[in-house]
Structures are given as structure tokens and as C-alpha cells.
Chains A and B, each alone.
Chain A
């Protein structure tokens, strides 16, 4: 187990280096001079040159990359070109909002997704199963931001039940619409997965035995079937926490949510490279670490994975 974890962590290193390298190269190609961004129009050539030297952007790209990586490993993400503040403090300011929204979305995903899946499986081919199958199929096809807009029109404008956008005073009413939009696609996937694993679990012999013993349906489903059916679903949810953080850009933009997704998006429009690279690296790190944790959990549950010498990535 220990060796498995070490191996997986070692495998992460090239991924993290690759991600930073690609981002760095991408933003290096942007034909925009950061010095001009900072000093605005009318700056003297000397002032620009001085600033470039101070920022280190007059050096060749590999020197810049090396310096960036050195700072990164000591936890320093650089300074924003636009705001003259450290990227760390900007991200630290916006991250709590994103994490809160992501958690709200995950809670919705767990409750609605698992419940829908169980109902679908237990009442297979019933009206509710059909309804759930149709709505999960449709939900996967709906763009998150459009779903957000439709909700804004219905619940915000027409019915006036919920605030249109923003974080407001942080009360639960502000969370409902963005969290639902953010959770929509994942909830559909969880419900589908739950349905199929539950069906598989219900077809086992020990379920028949449990019924034969005279246990109530509630007990058979809740105690015997659900436990085994949950494992793959929990994995899916674990992986989702990472992708939800990355996918928050659109939701946060539509709902004006002050999270890190919107911050990165605004930084892209403003060509604020350090914020873009820093924000993306942190998002990717969360995604990668969640994947790692899920893999370790899986290896712990299933010894065959641990002892696989030469793994085949499929």
C-alpha cells in the first residue's frame, strides 16, 4: 500500500511540471507587454525597461520559467499585473466562495443523485424510473449557463422567489440557483451510475436470501444492497469535486459569484498572466489531488490494483 501511494505521488510530479510548463508557454506567447499593462499609456521607454528588468521579463523564457518554478515550490504564485497585489492573496480572497459553492453543489449531487438512482432501480421501468431516465439524459445535454439563465428568468424574474445573482449576505437563498446549475450535469451522472450499480447489486443471491429471511424491503435495500452499490458512486462523487471546481467558471460568470473561476476568467480578459497561471495551477492541483485520493481509496478497497506491477492506464 505504501509503495503504491509513493508511486502514485511520484507519477504526479511530471504532470504538475507539464501543466505549469504548458500554461507558462501559452501565456508567454500572448503578444502583450506586461510592463505596458502596468504603467498604462504615456510611460517613458526608460520606465518601461526598468519595470521589465524588475519583473524579470527581459530575460529568456527558460530563465523566467525556472524563477517561476522556484517561487512556486516555496508557495509564491507571483504578483498580479493589474492589481499590484500578490496572486496568493487574490486567490485566498476568492477561494472560500468557490469552495462553499462547490460543497453546496456536491450536497445537491449526493442527495438528489443517489435518491433518484435508488428509486429508479427499485421501481425499475415504472413511471418514476422513466421520468428519471428521461430527465437525466436531457440534463446532460443542457449547457450549465443556459440552465442558470432559465432559472434566473423563472425563479428570479417571474416568481421573484430567489435573488438573480451575486453572493449577497451569503444566506442560503443566494446559493440555491448557482449550486443547482453547477450540480446539474454531475447529478445526472450520479443518478445514472447509482441506478446501474443498484440494479446489479439487487440481482445478487444474498438479496434473495435477505428477503427470504423476512427482512423488510427498506432494510434489504438500505442495509444490503445500498452498501455495495455505493462504492463506485462515491468514487464518481470524489472525482467530481475536482471537476466542479474547474467547471465553476461558467456558473460563476452567469451568477456573478465572487469565486476563483470568475476571477480567472476576468484575469484572462485583462491579460493578467500571473493570476491566470496561479489560479489554474491551483484548480488543476485540486483536481489532480482528488484523483489521487480516489485512486488510493480504490486501491485500499480492492487489493488487485495495489499489486498490479505494470499498470495499464485505461
Chain B
């Protein structure tokens, strides 16, 4: 019995092997070597990671949330039943119903539509602000890790200063100077986040820098630029992707906090933090005003956190 199962398993494998050979365009009598060569040259760190990621249910849930959010943000005008800033006086502070799914606020604006449009700000801030942090961090981290000595000391001491600021406090201070507005939020959060990326990239470089293949590349006469972009960058990129995904969640929370404090997105634009601030005075008469934007923030951040955790596990199974 047991033997039979094994044998049939073997047969199945052989069959799959034949099929796979066909699918990548090797048919007939071509030697097995070339098949294996083709197969293994295609599988890389990133492919393996992707495979592990697909098996992780929580990470897939996170990915689903993130994709759904991006779609909601893109197609907000199609999804929202009302204009997010249109005031309908007669509909002031209605409880959730079939007409207004999430109810309306004091000015008679439809909260469901505002929550949908609010996703735009959050996603924009998350991606652009973290993008700014990554770019600054990669540049300074590369300088620091690759060249060492004085650039390293100076950049890392500046990073220390940025680490000494509590995140929210720093963001508030910068927003006070720049004034409210979406672009300024990108800048404030972007500037505050670079130090962690610089450190991560720097330490990746330090561990890779002295490996034999880098030495070999240098012996072959590769330039600094080529070594950084072609050899170091692809190998140091995994931790950056992981950390960036997690940081998008943080950036969205900070943006909401800034808008909540009145330093971020200005009315009448729909932003979740701003909606919470507007609900603060009416939590006794219109509690639905605060429930839905808050849930939206929690679900969004949860999506990025789960995806980030999943990516971390996928890139480094040892960390589990």
C-alpha cells in the first residue's frame, strides 16, 4: 500500500516534470541539464520569498486589504454615493441608514463617501512620505556604509539626532513651521523617517561589502557606482522592502494624528484624522461620526502591518 502511494507519487512528479518542461518551451529530446539550468536560474531570493508569502494566510489578508484600499482610493468617485464635501442641510447628523450607510455629520455630509475619499489622503501620504524617507535613507546609508570614515561618522551622528526626537513631536514641530497641507505632510513625515532606512541599508552594506564576490567585482575593475547598484543594492533590498511596508502603517497613523490636531489636511477635504477631530465635540449626540473613520484607520494600518510581518517572515524564515 505504502509503496504504491510512493510510486504513484513518483509517477505524478514525472508527469508534472514533463508538463513543466513543455511549459517553459523545452520539448522532445533536449537534455535534462538545460531544463534544470533554466529552472534554477529563474528561481531567486525574491521568488522563494514570494512563494513563502503566498502560503502565509495573514500576509495574504494584509495584501488583500492593501489592494482593496488602493482600488477604493483610485475609484473613489465611482464608489462614493455622494459628493464628499457637499452639504445637505436637511440631512444634518443623521444616524446610519440605508440612505446614508454610515450616517451624516453635522454639516449634512455623507460619512460613507467621506470615508471612501479619505482613503486617498492616507494612501498618498503612506506611499509618498515613506518613498521620500527611503530615497533619503538609501542615499545617505549608501554613502555611510560604503565609504565609512568621516561620511559615516557625520551621517550616523545626524541619524542619532533624528532618533532622539519622538516621532509625533518632530512631525508637529515641522508642520508648525511649514504650515498645514498635504504636501507639507509628505515632507514632514518623509524627513523624519529617513534615519531608520539609512541605518538598515548601512548595516546591510557593511555585511555584504567584504564578501568575496564584491572583492571579485572590484578586481575586475567595476566602478563604485556599478558595485553599489548592481551588486550591493539587490542584496540589501529585502530588509528595505519589509521596513518600508511596516512604515507605511506608521506614516498613516502619524498623518491622521496631525490632521486630528489640526496641523494636517485642511477642511473641507475628507481625511480620516480630520473627521475624528470634527467628531470630538459631538461624541455624545453623533457617535457614528467617530466610529467609521477610526475603523478605516485601524483596518488600513492592520493591512500594512500584516503584509509587512508576512514579508519579513518570507524574506527571512529564520526569524519566525
**Residues of A with Cβ closer than 8 Å to B?**
11, 14-15, 18-19, 22-23, 26-27, 29-30, 137-138, 140-143, 145-146, 149-150, 152-153, 157, 242-243, 245-247, 249-250, 253-254, 264-265, 268-269, 271, 276, 280, 283-284, 287-288, 312-314
Contacts and interface: CB of A to CB of B under 8 A. Distances in A.
A313 B200 CA distance: 10
Contacts of B276: 143, 145-146, 149
B314 interface: no
Contact of A265 (B164, B172, B174): B172
Interface in B11-28: none
B135 to A, nearest CB: 20
Interface string B143-178: 000000000000011111100111111001110110
- Give 9 nearest A-B pairs by CB, closest first: A246-B166, A18-B161, A141-B301, A146-B294, A314-B203, A141-B302, A26-B177, A268-B176, A15-B160
B157 A14 contact: yes
Contacts of A150: 290, 294
By DSSP majority rule, is chain A's interface helix, strand, loop, or mixed? helix
A243 B262 CA distance: 22
Contact of B161 (A22, A253, A312): A22
A184 B5 CA distance: 53
Contact of A138 (B206, B280, B284, B298): B298
Interface residues of B, number: 43
A10 B169 CA distance: 25
B177 A30 contact: yes
Contacts of B132: none
Nearest to A26: B177
A245 B159 CA distance: 21
A150 B287 CA distance: 9
Contacts of A137: 302, 305-306
A284 B172 contact: no
Nearest to A29: B177
A140 B305 contact: yes
Contacts of A22: 161
A23 B173 contact: yes
Given A141-B249, A143-B297, A283-B169, A18 B157 contact: yes
B109 interface: no
Interface string B229-256: 0000000000000000000010001001
Contact of A287 (B164, B176, B299): B164
Nearest to A253: B261
A141 to B, nearest CB: 4
A138 B173 CA distance: 29
Question: What is the predominant secondary structure among interface residues of chain B facing chain A?
Answer: helix
Given A138-B298, A246-B168, A249-B172, A145 B161 contact: no
B256 A19 contact: no
B283 interface: yes
Contacts of B174: 26
A34 B259 CA distance: 26
14 contacts: A18-B160, A19-B164, A26-B176, A140-B305, A141-B302, A143-B260, A146-B276, A146-B298, A149-B290, A153-B287, A250-B261, A265-B172, A276-B176, A313-B159
A268 B172 contact: yes
Nearest to A11: B160
A243 B305 contact: no
B199 interface: yes
Contacts of A269: 262
Interface in B196-228: 199, 203, 206
B257 interface: yes
Contact of A249 (B168, B256, B290, B299): B168
A149 B281 CA distance: 10
B253 A157 contact: no
A19 B273 CA distance: 28
A145 B166 contact: no
Interface string B273-286: 10010011001100
Contacts of B262: 269
A314 B249 contact: no
Contacts of A140: 301, 305
Given A19-B165, A247-B168, A265 B261 contact: yes
A19 B169 contact: no
Contacts of A313: 156, 159-160, 199
A27 B177 contact: yes
A143 B302 contact: no
A180 to B, nearest CB: 16
B260 A276 contact: no
Interface string B73-105: 000000000000000000000000000000000
